[in-house]
Amino acid sequence: MSSQKTVLQRFGTVEDNELRLDTDRAEQIVEALNTDIASLYVLYHQLKKHHWNVSGAEFRDIHLFLDEAAENAEDGIDELAERTGAIGGTPIAGAKAAEEYAPVEPEDEDVYEIRTSLEHDLVMYGDIVESVRDHVELATNFGDHATAELLRGILVDLEEDAHHIEHFLDGDTLVTENSMR
């Protein structure tokens, strides 16, 4: 707990901003961005869990991919959090708040076969992609083209990572059942 006596800005509030984005619109965009931050936070931790626990013949490729995908999620969190502040809001900054705000459900703490884990990741990616697309439209409709552009960039990374997972889940592999025993 902080020993600071003065709160500079309460979480959930939106103040006037130097970007001249209307406060009512900024409030809705901040809410959307916090949803995306929370979702990416949950995704990041799930990807890291799978990165730490992957094993098998394709360990190295999947291990490296999951680390890169988690880094993409972390970069997205940072960009969205900074944008949230720029438009007068306060970004989600803790695990408890992220779980409350995230519309995606994390996988439990158990360890699964990597195929099952990647399937869980792909479902989460799909949910986040749909949400980010909606938020691109919201920001565009409100004339916040910078936020829309930022979200588009994050959307590209999310879709590319999801597409890579689709490749890992493809049935065509050099690994045979005999080599997995």
Instruction: State if pTM tops 0.75.
Output: yes
- At 83-97, the pLDDT tens digits run 999 999 999 998 888
Number of domains in the chain: 1
Range of the domain at 144: 23-170
Would residue 50 count as lying in a domain? yes
Distance, CA of 131 to CA of 129 (rounded, Å): 5
What is the Cα–Cα distance from 102 to 98, expressed in whole angstroms? Answer: 6
Write down how long the chain is. 181
CA distance 130 to 122: 12
In a domain, 8, yes or no: no
Q: Is residue 14 part of a domain?
A: no
Predicted confidence at residue 172, as pLDDT, reads 74
Domain with residue 51: its CATH number is: 1.20.1260.10
Q: Is residue 6 part of a domain?
A: no
DSSP-assigned letters across all residues of 60-74: HHHHHHHHHHHHHHH
Band (175; pLDDT cuts 50, 70, 90): low
